[in-house]
Structures are given as C-alpha cells and as structure tokens.
Structure 1
Amino acid sequence: MSTLERGVLLRGVAGGAARSGARVLTALFVVYAVVGLFALDHHEPWRDEAQAWLIARDLPLSDIVFTQMGHEGTPALWHLLNALLISLGLPFSAQAYLNFSFAVGTVGLVFWRAPFSPLVKVLFAFNYYMAYEFSHIARNFALGAFLLALTLSLFGQRRERPMLYAVAVALLANANVFGFLMALGLGMIHAVEALRDRRIGQAVLPALVMAAAGLFAFVQMIPAADNFRTAGAIGMFNMFTPRNLLLANFDLFFGRLDEPVRAFSREWPPARVLLYAMAGFAVLFWGLFLLQIRTSWEALLFFGVVAGGIAYIMVFKKEGSPRVHGHLLLAAIGALWLQAVLHRPSAALRLPGGRSVPAAWLGMGFTAALCAGLAPSVLRAGWNWQKDIRHPFSGAPEMASYLLERGLDRRTIVAYESAWGSAVLPYLDADARFYYPDLRRFGSYLVWTREWAERFQGLPFDEILRSAEADLGGLGGDPEGVLFLMSHPVDDPRVELLHSVAENVERETFHLYRLRKPAP
C-alpha cells in the first residue's frame, strides 16, 4: 500500500469498501471514455496532427526513420503507427481515435494497477493533460503516457518476466523524447539493481534489448545538419531562459492564470502577490514531493533523469508548452509509483534539536498539495472540452471541404504560412501538394530547416508572388489557375477573396484568394 493510500486526508476514500470503490472507478472510467469521445468528435485536427499523418503517408519507412526524424526531434514510433493506419486504408480521423485509445488505456492502467488512492487516480485522469492535451490533440504524448503506465505496471514483475519488461521499456524509449528520458531512468535502475544484487547474467539480455532500443531512438533524434534548431553549440544550447521553469509550474498547477494576473498587476501592482503565492505553492509542492520520495533512490533517480532532461529542454532548447509541462506530472506520478511498488514508505523528517516531523504528517501535507495542484487542472480540462465542442479548433476541414466541393483542389495552390496550410492536405487526395513559398518547393509535410525558419513568417505578399512566379514558371498565363491559401488576410488589389473560414477558429484561420484577371 502506498503512502498516498495511508494518508489520513484520504483514508476515508482509500480505505472504503473495495467493491464500492471499484464500482465508482468503473463508472468514472466510463465517464472519461464517453465524455472524451463526445468532445473528440468535435475536435478538428491542426497542423501538428497533420504533420505526422503526412509524413507517414508520403515518405518511405526508411526515410521516416533515418531522415525526417532528424527534423522532428522524436523517434518514429508514432509515425509508424500512423503508417499502419494508412496501409489499412483508414481515413485521417483514425489517427485521433488511435491516440484517444492510448489515453483511455493509460487511465485504465492507472485506475486498476497504480498504487494510489481513488481520489488521486480520478484527479490524474481528469486533469487537463490526460483529459485534453494528450488525449484530444493527436501526437505521440498519449502513446508515451500509455507505455509509461504499462512499464510501471510490469515493474513489480521485472525479475519474473524480464524480457516482457525490457520490451516495454524499449517501446517507451521510442515513444517520444520524454519517453526516452523515462526509459533511460528505468534502464539505469535496471543496471544498478543487477550490479547490486549480482544478477548480471540474468540481466544482460534484457539490458541489451533496452540499450539497443535506446540507441535506436537516440540516433533518430540526432538533429539534421540543416535543422533550424541546430544553431549554437551543435544545437545543444540554443538559448538560456531559466524563467521557463517558473512558467512551466504556473501552467502545471494554475493553467495560464498567471497571464491575466500579470496583466492586471500592471494596472494594480499589489496583485503581484498572487504570482508570488503561485510560485510559493510550486516550491512547497516540489519540496514535499522530494521529501515524500527520498526513501527510494530508484524514485529519485527516475525523477531526476526525467525532470532534469525536461528542464534542459525548456531552458536551453525551446520554449515550454503544455505538452512539455505535462510530462513533469508524468515524471512525478512515475516516481511515486516506483516508490510504492518497491515498498519504500516515507520516513519521518529529522530536524535540528532532536525534533522530527512524523511521516504521516508529511504524507498528509503532500497528498493535500497533490490534490490541490491537480484540482484546478480538472476545471481547465472541462473549459477546453466545451471550447472544442462550441468552436472549431482548426479551419482546415472547412477549407478542404470548400476546395473539394468546387473542384479547386486540383488547382495550383500556394500555401503560406506553410505550417498552417499543411493542415488542409490530409483531407485532399493523397497526391495533392501545395507550393510553399517559405520552402520554395511543392510539398505536403514540413521540413523544419533553417531556410524555412527564415521565411516561415512575415513574408510580404510581393515576395510570395515573386517566389511563386520564379518557381512555378510565371503566373501570367492563367492567373485564375493559381490559388493562394493564406493564414492571414491579404489587402492587395491584385487578388480577390474566394472563401474564409469562421473567425472564431482558435488555431488556424484560412483565407483563399485568386489573382484578378488583368484589365483588358
């Protein structure tokens, strides 16, 4: 039984009748799946989701793994699963349901295999990351969460079923960069335990499986020579923004409440005390968390590797985002799971002067902080569900329908910015391609090169026209044959608007133009 289950605060919930608790969890699991499916049915995929599908559709498997991943910064497992869907003849929408199935699987494993109290399980399932960010936006993060939960479910059997456990770790390493960090931490635990217990002979083959999979994942993530993030010291230190660590905690515990508070504090400076209180809560939470897991070197090692890697990414590589911040929560949950499986209960904290804080008090404090930290995130998930239901997340499906209904999809289409325009392509015929002025070529998926980074935003329409004329052999012969799919309105007398998507689109708004006929 975990410390979280022993906490006095949750004793009434965790120690209730087993049958009643199981029925409640089952009912909430059904609610998670049914409500999630309803909201998912109203979610329009955006360009991050389209990118993986287009890569899987339009590249040979060898190029996906050994060429494109150097621009994507992730192993290719998610892309290969997309390729499997495509080979089965399934439509683009299948990607969303596959992703959601991994989220549902994660929640199921947590509900019935994780050593936490029912309240913690429910708050974890319905927090913003598991209920929306990972489950409804189809990328490789629900896959990673599922493989982490699966691996932790097998951790207690790692000696009885070493190869099965090793395969789970191997798959986790290839889910995404965060899964790689998690697998690295678990692999280090495996190595230390083997040396400590003198089980080297039994541990060699599983270790080789983990190491080979980790090396395979690492090779795929080596940045390509022209990757736009390879500036600086071989791409390792592109920036230095330690402030991102603070912003990550604001996002993790309070959504983006810090943004309106910060704006309000400019008008009324005393409001900044709320920001200090938020930062203080984050410090308190992580302090209590480290006190909670300090009795397990395995949990500390796992969390240190994962959280350290995430901190490096946020400080030196790229800005943080909800998809990154959510993995701090997964790292903490993983560490607590390890501690519980290893039966390392929290110990009393000894203070100067012979005094001490009882372990039960520490457990109560941490459990309260954990629940307080997860509860606002549940409200955030509900808020995003209702936004997805009421408003389109992307205008790509609507624009694609307009092109198809009027037979315009076979025209030459110049899409700028390419990152947004590419979201329309999965709905068109598989051989459809757009001309991308920022890449100066026809394409479907994006290749994140330095040339793209220099041109992907802010090109004036004159430059877009010049690029198109140069690379398409001129536009004067058939001006109506070329369409311009723009992510922002164009105020230019040389073009006329054909169609715009609704203005309440959150991520991607599209405007379709054609050149006016020259005056006779």
Structure 2
Amino acid sequence: MLHRHWRGFAFAVYFAVVVCVMAFHEPWFDEAQSWLIARDASFHDILLVRPHYEGHPPLWWLMLSIPAKLGVPYEIGLKGIQLACAALMAGLLIFRAPFPPVAVALLPFTYFMCFQYGVTSRPYALMCAAIFLVADCWATRDQHPWRLALSLTLLCCTSSYGIALACAVALVWVARTVLQARSLRALIADPHRFAAWLVLMVAGIVLTVCILPYPDTFGATPGANGNSIVAKFLMFWLVLPSESLFTSFAGDVSLHGMRLGVLPMVVCVVLSALVWAVLIRLAHRRGDLDILLVPYLLFAVCAVRYFSMHHLGILFALLVADWWIVLRDRPLEAADMPERLRLRIEGCGLFRRGGKGDPTSDAGSRWRNAAGVRNAAALRNAVIVVLLLPSLCWNVAAAACDVRYDYSGARAVASFVERNGLEHDRWVSFWRYFPETTWPDGSHTPRQEDTHRYSWAVIAANPYFDDFARGAAQDSARGSASGHVRGRVRDGSSHDAAHGLLDCTYRGRSYEPNQVPTAAQMNQEIKSCAAKGEPEFVIGDTDFPDYYFNRLGYRMRDYRKITIATKHTPWKTWVTTADITTYVRTDVLRALRLR
C-alpha cells in the first residue's frame, strides 16, 4: 500500500511537519509588515503606492488582505495563506518532479523548502511554486503555450526577482523559436503562442512600472567596507550555489556585507564549480545551456544590489528547476558521466560484470543486468542522500530551535503589553541612526538618520493588538464584571491601539513606510513628538541611547531599562540571540508585571 501511495504519504508528512512547526513559530518583522499592509492600507495604496516602496508586486498583500480585512485572527489568517502556498510548492515537487523517488521524498524537507519558505510566511513559497510550474511546462511550451505563459505571469506577480526570471525564460523561448525556424515570421506563426507572449509582455511591463522605486524609497545603503558590485556578481556564481546547497559559512546577512575567510571561500568556490560543471555538462548534452545560464545571469544582474542570504532559497529552487528541465528532456544515462569517471566506477566493481553460472546464458545475463541496475540505483540514492543531507540537517536544527525558543519575541512583547494593559500608553521608538564613523582601515561612513525606521520588535507585535482590541470589544459588549476594558484610553489621547502600538509614526501607520524623510521633515517630526512630553515607554535597539533622549528632550534619568524577552532566531545551524528591551518611565515601572 505504501509502495503505491508513497507520494501521497510524503505530502501528508510534509504538511503535518509544517503545520506543527508553524504552531510554535511566531512571525517576525517581514511577516508582520506584510500583514499590516494588507490589513491597514487601502486597496488603492496596496495596488498603486506600496509596491514602489516595498519593491514587490501587490499579489501577496492582496492574498493576505482577504483574511486580514475580514477580521481573521492574525496568526490563523497569515499562516493559513502561507500553508496553502507551501502545500502548492511541495505538491509540485512531490507529484510532478521527474526525480528519483529518494529525491522526491527528501527535497520537500530541505531547509528552504520546509522551514524558510514553508514555515515562515513570505511570498517565496508561491514564487518557488511558480518556478516549478515553469520547469514543468517548459518541455511542452510550444504545444501548450498558455500553460507556460500563465506560469511565467504568476512568477512575475510574486516578486521583483520573479519578473527578472520570467523575462529571461521568455527571452530564451522567443530566441529558440526564431533560431529554430531561422525566420522572424516564426514569431507570429502560432497565433495562440503569440497572444500568450503579448499577455506575458504586458503583465511584465505593468508590474515593472508598478514596482519602480520612488525617489524617496528606502534602499540598501552601501557601507564603506561593503563588497563591490563586481565582487557580489562573482559571488552569485562562485559562492552562492554552495551556500544554498551544501555550506553554512555565512549567516543571514546582505550580500553587500558578507565576509568569508580564505578557507570557506575556497570550499565554496570548489563546490560551486562542481555544481556548475555537472549542470553545464548535462544541459549542453540536451541543448539546454541557454535555459540554464540566461535566467541565472539576468537574476544575478538584477538581484546583485539588494540580495540577502534569506533569498538563497530562490537560488535553491532555481537549481532544482534546472535539474527538472534537464531530466524532463532526457533522463540521466551512463553517457552523461565523463568517460574516465564511468570507467573508474566500473573498475571498482560497483557494476557487476559476471553472473551466476554460465555468463553466456540468458539467466546469467538477466541476473547480471538486474545486479547492475540495483547497484546503479543504490549509488544514485546514496549520492542523493549525501547531497541533500546538509540542507536536511539545517531544517531539523532550525525547526527545533523555533519550537523551543521565541523566534522574534513578538508574542512576548504583545503579551507584556496586554498583561499590563499598556495598549493606550505612549510608546515611542528609537529610529535608524548611525553617527559619522572612521574605521580602523581608514575608510569613512557618513552620518545616517531615518526617523521612519522603527523598532522591528514593535512592528512584529503590532498585528496582535487588533486581536486584543476585538477581544476588548467583546468584553465590553458582555459587560465585563471586572470593570477593566482593554480598549479604555488611559490618558485621554486618541491613540488607536488597534492600528499599532507606536506613537509618533509617519501618518500614524502601523507598518514601516519605507519613505525616507528629508532633514527638515525629520526635524519637524522629532519636534512634534517631543512636544507631547515624555512617553511611558521608549523602545528599540541602539548603541546610542543618549542621542535619542537628547534629541527628544527627554531626561534619561526618568527611565529604567528592562528586558521584555530574549529571542533566538535560527538560520541553518546558526542561532542569533538578542534581548528585546525598552526604557520605562520610573513612575510606570512600579506597577508593571514583568513576568
């Protein structure tokens, strides 16, 4: 029974694992930011404004807006949408991929397919699903052009990176059509295919215009000691394949700031070179070099500026899709191996040359062939397990950490606020600030300041306050006997806890706007916030607390620093530990229940 239905069993196990880890996982800043945009932004802003500041098409927010605007509790709504996307991604891998059974059974449980893009709620699961759809439809692109065109359109809708990949695949498709026919007339020879291309082109152009950054959009600010564009481009080819598949030398950092020692760099280059050697040989033998290299090249060019290591799963999915296309065109065969390697394997006796009894008999020949097949399958399965083992181990380590510890501290912050009835106290966040710095190597970093960059811990906790507000409304309707209603405004202010905890945010938004203010605007915002007097809480991570208190005109001696929670954020086998702290006004501190 299991032998016949093993794919369904593998899917059920994947689904169960993701659901179980999801139950413990607490969303972090990126996950909360998307939910807050979906919940609090208008559809006009979601479609026409936010994409310019977030750098992604609006599909993910539109999907989240269904539960968010209907009032579905935060984690149920967010994780429900994510679970559907993860199920689609894993379902395509399990039921459609042309891989050996061992690979099909293990790939969904690798780090990026299970934990990073399965458990955490971001649009990357849907993006990977679209990449797999493209790989599955590639072989029949001319017979069923709409299937591939719609898959590429979905890929465009998931991410700015998806637009680049879809553009590259479409270019290869069109170029192959023209080159095979040796005439431009081939472009319009098939009306259905030509119409599909036009629809895809329009979708790509519209979405590209939709995400073009406005002049005041916050972006990656290169530091003095960052990697150059050329170095980052080379890393795409010589480092990132290894880091996505086998090695874990770099944490979840931006590519701009990634640093590797000599030995890790050599290991990554060697392993990445081996990956490319194998893929290029297989693709070349099947005439697929263009679909292997062009999408990767355009992706590297477009992503080199903003790429962070948590995007590595896109590369992982892209490499899986390359294997998908190669094997769908023609399964692996002995001739795919270099002749010397094949002879060495045969020389080790792995493939039996002799048989029982008379080697010239039919029975001996059948036994000899069966033994060779068994040995070849055993070797293939062993290689697959070895290749996927690092990623499988990363997945187990990250999931175990997430189950045991606070991932972001968001629940702890929300619980602290709710337990003490602090929803309507004034909370002010430290903002992004770095002083002018001269580094030991003589390089220089100019002063940086942005009052629209708030505490990630509070942004991650903000979605819970809408749930609290609904609970308060229900308590009020029932006539709470305790006389304490969480919706009560303690100081007569108009601060709306249902739309975020922080005061003094840009236009009262619960999410980061990613709109960089001018110096005059920053000064005015700081002045307006300071005019309200000392808040009950000042929160955020900083090495320069004196600067903020001085800028806001608050007396630091009126506050005490406390720790609300300690978060343990896993990345592969890495774990980053940090405290979430806040400065509490001393007259408020005495009444707090800290645990």
Structure 1, unmatched stretches of 5+, are 1-18, 260-270, 455-463
Indicate whether 1:62 and 2:62 are aligned.
no
Q: Is the 8 A contact 1:487 1:511 kept in 2?
A: yes
TM-fit CA distance, 1:182:
2.9
Q: Secondary structure at 2:463's aligned position in 1? A: helix
Q: Among residues 95, 99, 102, which one is paired with 2:85 in the alignment?
A: 102
Q: 1:400 to 1:508 in 2, by over 3 A?
A: farther
Structure 2: distance between partners of 1:282 and 1:229: 29
CA contact (8 A) 2:165 2:296 kept: no
- Matched residue SS, 1:74: coil
Which of residues 279, 282, 293 is equivalent to 1:304? Answer: 293
Residue of structure 2 in register with 1:188 after alignment: 171
Which consecutive residues of structure 2, in runs of 5 or more, have no partner in the other structure?
Answer: 252-260, 346-375, 432-453, 467-496, 547-555, 570-575, 589-595
* Contact 1:434 1:442 (C-alpha < 8 Å) held by counterparts: no
Alignment pair present for 1:320 and 2:302 = no
Query: Structure 2: how far apart are the matches of 1:238 and 1:431?
Result: 44
In the alignment, the residues of structure 2 paired with residue 57 and residue 359 of structure 1 have an alpha-carbon distance, to the nearest angstrom, of: 62
> Which position in structure 1 is the counterpart of 2:565?
501
Which residue of the other structure, out of 128, 133, 143, is the alignment partner of 1:150?
133
Cα displacement (A) at 1:223: 1.7
RMSD, aligned CA: 3.8
Describe the shift of the 1:436–1:144 C-alpha distance in structure 2 as closer, same or farther (beyond 3 A). Answer: farther
Q: Secondary structure at the match of 2:416?
A: helix
Letter of the structure 2 residue corresponding to residue 148 of structure 1:
I
Separation in 1, partners of 2:278, 2:246: 18
Q: Once structures 1 and 2 are overlaid, which stretch shifts more, 164-173 or 139-148?
A: 164-173
Instruction: Tell me the residue number matched to 2:400.
Output: 386
- Map Cα deviations across residues 400-457 of structure 1 (whole Å, 9 max, x no partner): 12212322112221123515121111111374335477x76632111224449x9xxx
Q: Give secondary structure in 2 for the equivalent of 1:487.
A: coil
Q: Which of 492, 503, 513 is residue 447 of structure 1 equivalent to?
A: 513
Matched, 1:124 2:107: yes
**2-structure distance, mates of 1:22, 1:484:** 60
Q: 1:256 and 2:248 equivalent?
A: yes
Within a 5 Å distance, the mapping from 1:451-466 to structure 2 comes to 451=517
Task: Give the aligned partner of residue 514 of structure 1.
Answer: 584
Deviations 1:453-507 (A, max 9, x none): x9xxxxxxxxx9x98762235244xx4x532233369694221346611365657
Local SS of the residue matching 1:186: helix
Taking the TM superposition and a 5 Å limit, the aligned residue runs for 1:38-437 are 38-93=20-75, 94-195=77-178, 196=180, 198=186, 199-229=189-219, 239-242=229-232, 244-245=235-236, 246-257=238-249, 276-297=266-287, 299-313=288-302, 316-321=304-309, 323-343=310-330, 348=335, 371-417=385-431, 418-420=454-456, 421-429=458-466, 431-435=498-502
Residue 135 to residue 328, structure 1, CA distance change in 2 (3 Å):
same
Give the corresponding residue for 1:267: none
Alpha-carbon distance between aligned partners in 1 of 2:344 and 2:175, rounded to the nearest angstrom: 30
Whether the 8 Å contact between 1:349 and 1:356 is mirrored in structure 2 is no
SS in 1 for 2:158: coil
Question: Take 1:360 and 1:32, find their aligned partners in 2: how far apart are those partners?
Answer: 38
Question: How far, CA to CA, are the matches of 1:441 and 1:34 in structure 2?
Answer: 42
Q: What does residue 449 of structure 2 align with?
A: none
Aligned equivalents of 1:136 and 1:409: distance in 2?
29
Conserved? CA contact 2:102–2:381, under 8 Å: no
TM-score (norm 2): 0.69
Number of equivalences: 465
- Which secondary structure does the structure 1 equivalent of 2:103 belong to? helix
| 8 A contact 2:412–2:564 mirrored in 1 | no
Secondary structure of 2:219's counterpart equals: coil
Cα displacement string for residues 217-258 of structure 1 (whole angstroms, at most 9, x for unaligned residues): 2112212211233879xxxx9845336434424421334246
**CA displacement at 1:105 relative to structure 2:** 1.8
Matched position secondary structure for 2:531: coil
C-alpha separation between the residues in 1 aligned to 2:343 and 2:58? 44
State the secondary structure of the residue aligned to 2:118: coil
TM superposition score normalised by structure 1: 0.78
Alignment partners' CA distance in 2, 1:258 and 1:508: 18
Residue 583 of structure 2 aligns to a residue whose secondary structure is: strand
Cα displacement (A) at 1:180: 1.9
Deviation (angstroms), 1:143: 0.9
Q: Does 1:486 align with 2:523?
A: no
Q: Match for 1:308: what amino acid?
A: L
Larger Rg: 2
Write the letter of the residue equivalent to 2:281.
L
In 1, are the aligned partners of 2:463 and 2:500 still within 8 Å (CA)? no
For 2:290, give the aligned amino acid: L
Query: Which one-letter code corresponds to 2:305 in the other structure?
Result: K
* Structure 2 counterpart SS, 1:409: coil
Would the alpha carbon gap of residues 327 and 72 (structure 1) be closer, same or farther in structure 2, given more than 3 Å must change?
A: same
Give the Cα separation in 2 of the matches to 1:369 and 1:383. 22
Contact 1:434 1:444 in 2 (8 A): yes
Three-state SS of the structure 2 residue aligned to 1:500 is strand
Q: Alignment identity in percent?
A: 21
Contact kept in structure 2, 1:186 and 1:302, CA below 8 Å: yes
The offset of 1:67, in angstroms, is 1.7
Letter in 1 for 2:410: A
Report how far residue 169 of structure 1 moved: 2.0
| Change in 2 beyond 3 A, CA 1:219/1:471 | same
Distance 2:92 2:460 in 1: 33
